[in-house]
Structure 1
Amino acid sequence: MEHHELFQKIIECIDAGTSFALVQVLKTDGSTPLKIGARALVDSTGHIEDTIGGGAVEAQAQQQTVMACAEGKARVFDFELHGTSRQDSNPTCGGAMRVLIDPTIARARPVFTQIVTAIHDRQPGILETRVTRGNDTEVTYQWQPLGDHQDTPEFITRKDQDVLRNPILPLPHLIIAGAGHVGQALAVQAVLIGFAVTVLDDRPAFCTRARFPVPVALLCQDMPGALSQCRLGPDTYIVILTRSHQFDAAVLEACIQESIAYIGMIGSRRKIEVMRRDFVTAGLATAAQFERVCAPIGLDIGSVTAAEIATSITAQLIAVRRRGAQA
């Protein structure tokens, strides 16, 4: 479950009167299944949506949530993964996790409404969770604009308070130029790995909901013109898969000057070299700008079918998203 779905689910559960808790990993040390900021929803029966790492720590979180919901009080528990053998029931990862369980989250509905609105508007921000320790554990939440380009969670501990500052960023935006078989398969895979997807094509027969039943935006018009309607930024990824090298070139010309996360284009090495020469000679791009284009697109995994080619592109998108330029 992506964060936009989880926060919408929080509001739905509150409005439905469901007894549940938001479970968050406040702090980790050493090797752990998931890191600081991981979150899940657990209801009063122990049913969980999303994950904080699975296995024993998640099982304990589910058990603790059942008790916390019955009490109506938040609680924090520490879990050590210091098992010494495969027979040991304790995980052997070697790390430790501090987990917050908050069944009082309904009081913070206005904050989570702010978050859902911000995600819809593609506005990044920080969800600050403050945990005050005492006879009872008190939890408060605050939504703040993103400052100083913080993009990783931060844990701060004070005398009687733990603070988790967790960035909530818009889903990265993937624009697929070309609604053919590869584009169709790629759209499905990209949605699954957490991209907001827009598909461009000028052919009404290809740009249809029947071919794209997943939640993607469809723009059926001239592709460079459609691209100009999209907001491009550092979280934008563009994949060029049109039906001809002329259309590929037109779309590439429309985006190669933009400061975006990724541009990838399908085609043979010869096609790419010809296009590189033409772009540089015509002054449409510098050699350095063309070097940013991942072409031929995708990781070399021996792909043959449309689905396999889409998978190789998906893997490359993941690498760029998680590793940045070094991918």
Structure 2
Amino acid sequence: MIPYPSPEQRELELVELVARASATIPGTELIEYGRSVEQRPLHVVRVPSPASTASSVAPRVLVCANTHGPEFIGNRVCVGMLAKLIDDPPPPLRQLHERAELWLAPCLNPDGYARTHARDGAGTLAQLRHNHRGVDLNRNWPLPTGARRLPLPGAGSPTPGDATYRGPSPLSEPETAALDQLLTTQKFHASANLHSFMGTMFPPRVRTRAAAMAYARLCAALRQAQPHTRYLRIASRVFDTFTGEQEDHQHHAHGCWSICVECFSVRASLAQSFGRRVPLFWRFNPRDPQPWVDNDVPGVAAFLLATLDLPPAHP
């Protein structure tokens, strides 16, 4: 899977980047906020902002990735934000750091990552996507109060073994429970959740026109900051449904501007995998991640930066 790191290499890389960042941004730290089913650490990096003072803390923003086992490109974009912040941040990332405290959680599902790497990316979606207990972590979040889950494809299955099995109950998994506790304690103003491979943006399902219009503007900021491949926004107040996804929970339960970004693109995925006998992994991840890191880091930063001009999100 070169150039994608093994689980051990991924963790070592993160430790080394945090050490480098600490030399120029004092207070940068690697925090273990929980453990996976198989007791792998769940890590988040906190990068303090110069906007924080002794009497006032800058708003906090969060970038998450790799909640699904094979979606390694999201991990690369998330880690790339820290690497670029150290060396040569694009303008949206530099401006974001000047105004907000940046938190980065590059791998929400380390067990799924390890399983995907051990299988060299081969297997079905259900075999690679889940945590160790066979749960799709991005269907394990609570629905907003009064919402119901429609029986639509991908909306979260009640059947163990299905690719989108939602688990026995909301937040039943240690990975989602730990992250929800982090969301509760840190009160993030905004969050970007990185997936692959559709080259799209999915804002949460919202109930008001004002919220929908706000997300349209935020997604436009992300798209305009992408230098090469610009992603499409997919959203509908009429046809969208609640599925137990992270961005819906963050918006409705935590008042956090939130978005799902599907890194990479369908066209690029098909170009490298269509008609070829390749592992599932290469449907989700580019052979060379760096161009997509370069494309998506400024876009994600621009989305988060634009939220700082808004009050906290409301359902």
Name the TM-score class by shorter chain: 0.3 to 0.5
* Higher percent of residues as strand: 1
TM-score between both structures, scaled by the size of structure 2: 0.32
TM-score between both structures, scaled by the size of structure 1: 0.32
Which structure carries more relative contact order (alpha carbon 8 Å, separation 6+)?
2
* Higher percent of residues as helix: 2
Q: Which has the larger radius of gyration?
A: 1
